[in-house]
């Protein structure tokens, strides 16, 4: 009898607290600037034309992550403010298709270009290093997108690329596209999987 | 401009007839129910200021209760079946639009604009435009409806019913504009932050005027005539614009954003968000997020001189 009146208020308060915790968990910033030092968003030049960021840009071409990391320590301190934001990361996924990244890197599994969903990073996995790869380009085929992709899109792309190998929180990373489902059309994939010709290859799980 | 009650085509006319029938039937039923209610209220026993109510009428049952309820139920059922029949009949009428010599347009909805590709048996005569559907008066139009991202719905109230555009699916919508004019259309399925600013215009014009318009649309963009426009074109081709936009006759071949080959001839910008004039165009390029928050177009902070050149070139694409 003494515990009974407490029960309902406690449950109500707990439910309210749970509900309120969901409020404003994340906002869509339409105009959140990437807010990165200019040197990081446009790390200059190549070995032929070294710019102000030459010391960071001259990482060995085929360097292992550890080797590259020792050269570019300052870049690793630059945080990407889009990485905690599901909307920004999903926009990065949109740009990934729009700017034809999938033309070479496929859906992250790699093709003409290296895979992005594995743990290997030729030029470092820090956000600023990935941004530098996009903006400057890299030897053996990665073109430079300097002046072609706005800064905010570059950094949203960086967040998405890092999410593919699980470097971004799982509740922020976008889901797999419908087009990757093994079914013939998105809505048919719930039917029992009876392959018509050959069993489709098991798709690798994305980060 | 966007009015279900003023149909400008045979399809919208059928829908309007059905709507009027339903309105009439429902109005009569509504009035009858209200009258019955009023009658019940008036004949109910009531007390005066000092006297108690006369409840003698409640002592015996309502006469012929079962028969009255049966009649009312039968009448309601009959009316509802009548409306179902009218609905089916309207649907049949909509499907029987003669489609001989129809114009084929492929409509792809994007967040938040409309991509319109005019199909033709001869590939060189295919052309693309955005957010402004020109159709000849009196000729049926077959729209093939596709979506690039989420579910949208194509609706021109004055010309036809609405039809959803579902990703991964192909839908069809037929209509015919019987009266020349400009009719507003609107996305009718919530599709994200800027669903409300996903409008388009259907411009129905005489066949000769339509053919002249289509012939102009098939032409590539004219080369810039003066130094200012040349500078504008260089800015466009050297920057981020070319990653998404297409301008026929130039190196800009992006397919992710509205085709700008004949931007100057269109009435609005950004799917009906802004009028197509130099100042709104410059404002849109400088900061699209303040006009249409969430749009995928990034802002570009050009210097005033550069912006003037760019706008001059874009406005000249007619």
**In angstroms, rounded to a whole number, what is the distance separating the alpha carbons of residues A142 and A157?**
15
Chain B residues close to A157, C-beta within 8 Å? none
Percent of chain B with pLDDT over 70: 100
Lowest mean pLDDT among A138-142, A201-205, B182-186: A201-205
The CA distance from B81 to the nearest CA of chain A, in Å, is: 34
Nearest to A31 among B193, B242, B289 (CB): B289
CA neighbor of A164 nearest in space, from A130, A129, A201: A130
Give the nearest chain A residue to B291 (CA atoms).
A30
Whether the ipTM is more than 0.95: the answer is: no
Mutate to test the interface with A, among B243, B252, B299, B306 (most CBs of A within 10 A): B243
What is the reported pLDDT for A84? 87
Which tens digits make up the pLDDT trace of B121-163? Answer: 999 999 999 999 999 999 999 999 999 989 999 999 999 999 9
- Whether residue A47 is predicted with pLDDT greater than 80 in this model: the reply is no
DSSP H or E stretch at residue A104: helix A102-105
Which tens digits make up the pLDDT trace of A171-182? Answer: 899 988 877 776
DSSP H or E stretch at residue A18: helix A4-21
Q: How far is CA A116 from CA A38, A73, A178, B21, B92, in A?
A: 25, 22, 19, 61, 53
Interface of A with B (CB under 8 A): 28, 30-31, 91, 94, 98-99, 147-150, 152-153, 178, 185-187
Chain A residues close to B298, C-beta within 8 Å? 150, 152-153
Q: How far is CA A77 from CA A80, A124, B23, B58, B154, in A?
A: 10, 13, 67, 87, 48
The full set of domains in chain B, from first to last, is 1-32+83-214 (2.60.40.420), 227-315 (2.60.40.420)
Chain B residues close to A99, C-beta within 8 Å? 243
* Annotated domain spans of chain A: 63-175
The CA distance from A30 to the nearest CA of chain B, in Å, is: 5
Nearest to B243 among A91, A99, A178 (CB): A99
For residue B1, give the DSSP letter: -
Chain B residues close to A187, C-beta within 8 Å? 168
β-pairing, B152-155 vs B141-147, is: unpaired
**In angstroms, rounded to a whole number, what is the distance separating the alpha carbons of residues B175 and B142?**
7
How would you label B171-185 residue by residue, b for 16+ Cβ within 10 Å and e otherwise? Answer: bebbbbbbebeebbb
First-to-final CA distance of chain B:
25
Count of A–B CB contacts within 8 Å?
A: 36
CATH of A63-175, one of 2.102.10.10, 1.10.760.10, 3.50.50.60, 3.20.20.70: 1.10.760.10
DSSP code string of B74-103 = HHHHHHHHHHHHHHHHHHHHHHT---TT-E
- Pull the structure tokens for residue B262: 């004949």
Percent of chain B with pLDDT over 90: 85
* Non-local CB neighbours of B206 within 8 Å, separated by 6+ positions: B136, B137, B180
- Pull the structure tokens for residue B81: 């079946």
Arithmetic mean of pLDDT over chain A: 75
* Non-local CB neighbours of A54 within 8 Å, separated by 6+ positions: A44, A45
> With an 8 Å Cβ cutoff, is B253 touching chain A?
no
Task: Decide if A116 contacts A105 (C-beta within 8 A).
Answer: yes
Chain B residues close to A94, C-beta within 8 Å? 296
* For range B199-216, the mean pLDDT: 96
How would you label A177-186 residue by residue, b for 16+ Cβ within 10 Å and e otherwise? Answer: eeeebeeeee
B167–A28 C-beta distance less than 8 A? no
Confidence of residue B56 (pLDDT cuts 50, 70, 90): confident
- Pull the structure tokens for residue B130: 């955005």
B296–A28 C-beta distance less than 8 A? no
The CA distance from B68 to the nearest CA of chain A, in Å, is: 49
The position carrying tokens 């210097």 is B303
What is the reported pLDDT for B207? 95
Nearest to A152 among B167, B193, B298 (CB): B298
**In angstroms, rounded to a whole number, what is the distance separating the alpha carbons of residues A171 and B63?**
67
Q: How many helices (H) and strands (E) does chain B have?
A: 7, 12
Adjacent-strand bridge partners of B253:
B246
B244–A153 C-beta distance less than 8 A? no
> With an 8 Å Cβ cutoff, is B239 touching chain A?
yes
Task: List, as ranges, residues 291-310 from B with C-beta within 8 Å of A.
Answer: 293-294, 296, 298-300
* For range B239-244, the mean pLDDT: 93
Chain A residues close to B110, C-beta within 8 Å? none
* For range B185-190, the mean pLDDT: 95
What is the reported pLDDT for A33? 78
- Whether residue B96 is predicted with pLDDT greater than 80 in this model: the reply is yes
For residue B74, give the DSSP letter: H
> With an 8 Å Cβ cutoff, is B237 touching chain A?
no
């Amino acid at each position: 009898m003494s515990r009974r009146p407490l029960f309902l208020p406690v449950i109500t308060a707990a439910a309210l607290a749970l509900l309120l915790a969901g409020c404003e968990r994340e906002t869509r910033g339409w105009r959140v600037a990437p807010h990165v030092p200019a040197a990081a968003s446009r790390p200059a030049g190549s070995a032929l034309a070294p710019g102000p960021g030459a010391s960071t840009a001259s990482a060995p071409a085929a360097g292992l992550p550890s080797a590259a990391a020792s050269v570019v320590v300052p870049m690793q301190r630059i945080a990407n403010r889009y990485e905690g934001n599901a909307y920004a990361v999903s926009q990065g996924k949109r740009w990934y298709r729009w700017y034809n990244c999938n033309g070479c890197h496929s859906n992250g599994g790699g093709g003409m270009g290296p895979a992005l969903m594995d743990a290997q990073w030729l030029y470092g996995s820090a956000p600023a290093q990935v941004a530098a790869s996009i903006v400057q380009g890299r030897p053996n085929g990665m073109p430079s997108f300097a002046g072609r992709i706005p800064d905010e899109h570059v950094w949203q792309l960086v967040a998405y690329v890092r999410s593919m190998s699980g470097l971004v929180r799982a509740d922020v990373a976008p889901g797999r596209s419908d087009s990757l489902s093994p079914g013939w059309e998105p809505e048919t994939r719930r039917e029992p999987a009876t392959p018509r010709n050959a069993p489709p290859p098991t798709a690798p799980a994305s980060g | 401009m966007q009015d279900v009650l003023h149909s400008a085509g045979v399809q919208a006319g059928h829908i309007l007839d059905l709507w009027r029938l339903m309105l009439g039937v429902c109005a009569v039923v509504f009035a009858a129910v209200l009258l019955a209610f009023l009658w019940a209220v008036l004949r109910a026993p009531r007390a005066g200021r000092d006297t108690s109510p006369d409840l003698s009428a409640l002592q015996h049952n309502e006469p012929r209760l079962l028969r009255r309820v049966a009649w009312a139920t039968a009448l309601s059922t009959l009316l509802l079946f009548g409306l179902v029949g009218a609905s089916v009949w309207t649907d049949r009428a909509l499907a029987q639009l003669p489609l001989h010599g129809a114009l084929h347009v492929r409509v792809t909805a994007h967040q938040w604009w409309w991509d319109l590709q005019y199909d033709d048996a001869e590939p060189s005569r295919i052309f693309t435009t955005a957010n402004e559907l020109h159709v000849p008066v009196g000729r049926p139009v077959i729209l093939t409806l596709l979506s690039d991202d989420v579910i949208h719905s194509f609706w021109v109230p004055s010309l036809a019913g609405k039809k959803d555009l579902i990703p991964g699916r192909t839908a069809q919508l037929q209509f015919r504009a019987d009266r020349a004019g400009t009719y507003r259309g609107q996305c009718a399925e919530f599709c994200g932050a800027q669903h409300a600013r996903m409008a388009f215009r259907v411009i129905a014009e005489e066949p000769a005027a339509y053919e002249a318009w289509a012939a102009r649309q098939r032409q590539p963009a004219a080369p810039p005539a003066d130094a200012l426009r040349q500078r504008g074109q260089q800015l466009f081709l050297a920057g981020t614009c070319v990653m998404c936009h297409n301008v026929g006759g130039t190196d800009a071949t992006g397919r992710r954003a509205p085709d700008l080959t004949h931007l100057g001839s269109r009435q609005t910008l950004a799917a009906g968000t802004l009028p197509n004039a130099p100042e709104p165009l410059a404002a849109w390029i400088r900061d699209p997020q303040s006009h249409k928050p969430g749009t995928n177009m990034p802002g570009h902070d050009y210097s005033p001189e550069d912006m003037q050149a760019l706008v001059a070139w874009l406005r000249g694409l007619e």
